[in-house]
């Protein structure tokens, strides 16, 4: 826990006012909560036109000394991580801060023994096991840059990320179970590494007893390497602006964007937001159900909680295995106090019998959280009524991979909650709504709706797109002058509360994960039968949004269920199962402007069952709209 926690609404208002009037003094005070090898000489320098942002310049530190070492004297025997396996019959694992420190240092030496040094990139493709956390922290310990790839992505998705970052080493597991389904992770990695010349070493953790095919000279088992390493590894001294990790997120073009987060600012932002949003006490148990392969897992399973010295839960499985009471069984078993999950999971569980909830004692819960997408009213009330029993504030958090930390959220028990509203910006976050002409909607006493932008830097913001700063500039800083454009629309009420209304670009949030439509379309177009495709999102009861693909076939091919399966398999192999369209409609053409741009606005309306398309006369082929609508699924 930090000494800068907000304890009342009046303190929130005071902190927010100070963060706007004197942001450097505000963030200085927070940064001083941490262990620095050398204090910074300049808190902030920035230039939106470049765009370039530097926080705590001249400061030197290692984030793992703040995550681990500083807790050892007083809290070394406190539980850092509780791991719950996929199979409830398998034993849990409890790892103290002292044990985690030793494991991280030992694996850091494994990395060094395999030629990894400060600045090298390491790809981690692992299930939700403690070794994933150990590997990422070991990278940070020696100044290597970790690039974690969600262990549901395909071999080609891994390969593209490895090659973009020019990773030298990959860490994986041999096999994992997700529910009842075994997944051969090592086989997926082997396929990826056929096209990854930069990889010199592959370290494999044996999660399952199945025989594992190992490539001589490249592949090494985790346990063998750990046995050769000692547990003494002094932390590498890092500059505040040195990169800590790269995390890839989908964009509106085919190539994923490698967002680069830095050591100092990310540390300050993730810890400060965790401490204030969740308001944990020393002996509370915190569980975020996300995967560490996403930014939520980086910031709010590992870095944020451990920086604050709390106990964090890692869960390997899924909410429906062995039945739909699995989440609530774990809450009861571990006496979880703070529970943070996605609206997708809430909607899925709300559709099941209440017996799955009612047979478990959830009285330990104090705070509930929502992350990944705006939560709808029905899901909010179910969560509040049946999980929180009306006694737990719900922190509906809005933030992004690019922001690194929560930007808008209630502070649990401190500021008000409201269904579907992320409510108020955290101190240090200066929001604005922009109208269609790029002007700020400045009135604060009336309702307003527009595009959400941020007009002042914050410490945890991503600094660039790895290897492509121009793309960083064009994506986030070219829409509005001197502002970061979030890509989201938002509504602000007369009290200043914000509700996120959804993406305004070609990114669809499916089950809380941002999926760019361009790479999905590229995958569909790889099929021999496909001329062209367009993918849009449409509302889905469980996922929030699902994917609807409009596909044009070559004349010699006829629509069929087999063709639909083949196209979905193409997407699965290229990106991963999460990106498979729920619906595929074969069409004769796509509505296009005279410049050749697909009018996705119309396709989204058809997918959503709407019929008011506005003026279509400006289209190159207006007649196609009626044809698509008449044959909509």
Read out DSSP for 484-504?
EEEEEEEEE-TTS-EEEEEES
pLDDT band at 80 (very low <50, low <70, confident <90, very high): very high
Write the pLDDT tens digit of every residue in 407-454: 999 999 999 999 989 999 999 999 999 987 889 998 766 788 899 999
What b/e string do you get for 539-560 counting C-beta neighbours within 10 Å, with b at 16 or more? Answer: ebebbbbbbbbbbbbeeeeeee
Q: Please answer whether residues 40 and 57 qualify as being in contact, where contact means their C-beta atoms are separated by less than 8 angstroms.
A: yes
Q: What is the mean pLDDT of residues 548-560?
A: 92
566 domain residue, yes or no: yes
405 domain residue, yes or no: no
Q: Which domain holds residue 593?
A: 507-630
Query: SS3 string of 70-89?
Result: HHHHHHCCCEEEEEECCCCC
Handedness of CA 50, 56, 61, 62 (dihedral sign): negative
Look up residue 229 and give its DSSP letter.
Answer: S
Decide the pairing of beta strands 243-249 and 257-262.
antiparallel
> What's the pLDDT score for residue 615?
61
* Paired residues of 340 in beta bridges: 288, 369
Judged by average pLDDT, the poorest of 176-190, 269-283, 385-399 is 176-190
Judged by average pLDDT, the poorest of 110-119, 194-203, 242-251, 444-453 is 444-453
**Using CA atoms, how far apart are residues 96 and 77, in angstroms rounded to an integer?**
5
Q: Please answer whether residues 582 and 607 qualify as being in contact, where contact means their C-beta atoms are separated by less than 8 angstroms.
A: no
> What's the pLDDT score for residue 251?
56
pLDDT more than 90, % of the chain:
77
Write the pLDDT tens digit of every residue in 462-474: 999 999 999 999 9
Cα–Cα distances (Å) from 47 to 86, 122, 400, 457, 548, in that order, read 47, 30, 21, 10, 40
> What's the pLDDT score for residue 448?
87
Handedness of CA 457, 461, 464, 470 (dihedral sign): negative
- 3-class secondary structure, 592: strand
- Provide φ and ψ at 97, rounded to 5°: -60, -40
pLDDT at position 125 over 80: yes
Q: What is the mean pLDDT of residues 241-250?
A: 93
> What's the pLDDT score for residue 594?
57
Other beta carbons less than 10 A from residue 17's beta carbon: 12
375 domain residue, yes or no: no
- 3-class secondary structure, 182: strand
Count structural domains, the chain.
1
Alpha helices, DSSP H, located in 200-299 = 222-227, 263-278, 295-297
Nearest Cα residue to 371 out of 361, 383, 387: 383
Alpha helices, DSSP H, located in 506-576 = 517-525, 561-574
**Using CA atoms, how far apart are residues 489 and 248, in angstroms rounded to an integer?**
22
Query: Residue 319: CB partners within 8 Å, gap ≥ 6?
Result: 289, 326, 327, 345, 348, 349
pLDDT band at 618 (very low <50, low <70, confident <90, very high): low
317 domain residue, yes or no: no
Write the pLDDT tens digit of every residue in 560-612: 999 999 999 999 988 888 899 999 999 999 888 655 668 888 999 999 998 88
Cα–Cα distances (Å) from 156 to 168, 255, 540, in that order, read 17, 12, 28
> What's the pLDDT score for residue 328?
98
pLDDT band at 510 (very low <50, low <70, confident <90, very high): confident
- 3-class secondary structure, 331: helix
Whether omega for the bond prior to residue 459 falls within 30 degrees of 0, making it cis, is: no
**Using CA atoms, how far apart are residues 486 and 488, in angstroms rounded to an integer?**
5
Nearest Cα residue to 347 out of 607, 516, 181, 545: 545
530 domain residue, yes or no: yes
Alpha helices, DSSP H, located in 575-618 = 600-607
184 domain residue, yes or no: no
Judged by average pLDDT, the poorest of 246-255, 345-354, 363-372 is 246-255
Cα–Cα distances (Å) from 476 to 47, 242, 252, 440, 488, in that order, read 13, 21, 12, 17, 11
- 3-class secondary structure, 175: coil
**Using CA atoms, how far apart are residues 4 and 7, in angstroms rounded to an integer?**
9
603 domain residue, yes or no: yes
Look up residue 440 and give its DSSP letter.
Answer: B
Tokens of 25: 């003094």
Say what the pTM is: 0.87
What's the chain's average pLDDT?
93
**Using CA atoms, how far apart are residues 124 and 191, in angstroms rounded to an integer?**
15
CATH number of 522's domain: 3.30.300.30
Tokens of 369: 């959280």
483 domain residue, yes or no: no
Q: What is the mean pLDDT of residues 167-190?
A: 94
């Amino acid at each position: 826990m930090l000494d800068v926690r907000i304890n009342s609404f009046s303190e929130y208002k005071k902190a927010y006012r100070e963060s706007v009037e004197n942001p450097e003094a505000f963030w200085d005070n927070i940064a001083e909560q941490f262990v620095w090898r050398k204090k910074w000489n300049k808190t902030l320098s920035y230039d939106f036109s470049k765009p370039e942002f530097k926080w705590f310049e001249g400061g030197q530190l290692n984030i793992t000394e703040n995550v681990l070492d500083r807790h050892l004297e007083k809290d070394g025997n406190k539980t850092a991580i509780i791991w719950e396996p996929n199979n409830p019959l398998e034993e849990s694992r409890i790892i103290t801060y002292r044990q985690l420190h030793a494991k991280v240092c030992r694996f850091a030496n494994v990395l060094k023994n395999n030629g990894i040094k400060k600045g090298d990139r390491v790809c981690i493709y692992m299930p939700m096991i403690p070794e994933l956390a150990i590997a990422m922290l070991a990278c940070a310990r020696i100044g290597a840059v970790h690039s974690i790839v969600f262990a549901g992505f395909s071999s080609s998705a891994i390969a593209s990320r490895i090659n973009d970052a020019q990773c030298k080493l990959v860490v994986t597991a041999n096999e994992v179970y997700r529910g009842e389904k075994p997944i051969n992770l090592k086989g997926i990695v082997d396929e990826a590494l056929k096209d990854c010349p930069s990889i010199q070493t592959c370290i494999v953790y044996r999660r399952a007893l199945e025989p594992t095919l190992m490539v001589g000279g490249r592949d090494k088992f985790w346990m063998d390497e750990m046995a050769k390493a000692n547990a003494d590894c002094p932390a590498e001294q890092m500059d505040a602006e040195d990169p800590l990790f790269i995390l890839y997120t989908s964009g509106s073009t085919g190539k994923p964007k490698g967002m680069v987060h830095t050591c100092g600012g990310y540390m300050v932002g993730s810890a400060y937001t965790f401490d204030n949003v969740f308001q944990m006490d020393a002996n509370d148990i915190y569980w975020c159900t996300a995967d560490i392969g996403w930014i939520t897992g980086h910031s709010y399973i590992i870095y944020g909680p451990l920086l604050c010295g709390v106990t964090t839960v890692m869960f390997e499985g899924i909410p429906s295995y062995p039945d739909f009471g699995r989440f609530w069984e774990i809450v009861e078993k571990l006496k979880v106090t703070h529970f943070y999950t996605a609206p997708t999971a809430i909607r899925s569980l709300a559709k099941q019998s209440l017996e799955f909830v009612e047979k478990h004692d959830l009285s330990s819960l104090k705070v509930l959280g929502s992350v990944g997408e705006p939560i709808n009213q029905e899901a909010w009330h179910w969560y509040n009524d049946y999980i929180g029993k009306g006694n737990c504030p719900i922190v509906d958090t809005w933030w992004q991979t690019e922001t690194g930390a929560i930007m808008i959220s209630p502070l649990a028990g401190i500021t008000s909650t409201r269904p579907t509203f992320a409510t108020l910006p955290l101190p240090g976050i200066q929001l604005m709504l922009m109208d269609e002409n790029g002007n700020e909607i400045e009135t604060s006493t009336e309702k307003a709706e527009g595009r959400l932008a941020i007009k002042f830097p914050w410490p945890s913001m991503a600094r660039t797109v790895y290897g492509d700063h121009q793309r960083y500039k064009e994506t986030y800083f070219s829409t509005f002058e001197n502002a970061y454009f979030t890509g989201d629309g938002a509504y602000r009420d007369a009290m200043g509360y914000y509700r996120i209304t959804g993406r305004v670009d070609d990114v669809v949030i499916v089950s809380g994960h941002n999926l760019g439509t361009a790479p999905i379309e590229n995958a569909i177009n790889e099929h021999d039968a496909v001329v062209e495709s367009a993918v849009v999102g449409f509302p889905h009861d469980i996922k929030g949004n699902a994917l609807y693909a409009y596909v044009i076939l070559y004349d010699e091919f006829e629509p069929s269920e087999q063709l639909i399966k083949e196209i979905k398999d193409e997407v699965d192999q290229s990106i991963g199962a999460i990106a498979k369209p729920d619906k595929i409609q074969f069409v004769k053409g796509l509505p296009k402007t005279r410049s050749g741009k697909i009018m996705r606005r119309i396709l989204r309306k058809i997918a959503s069952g709407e019929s008011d398309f506005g003026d279509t006369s400006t289209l190159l082929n207006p007649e196609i709209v009626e044809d698509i609508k008449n044959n909509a699924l």
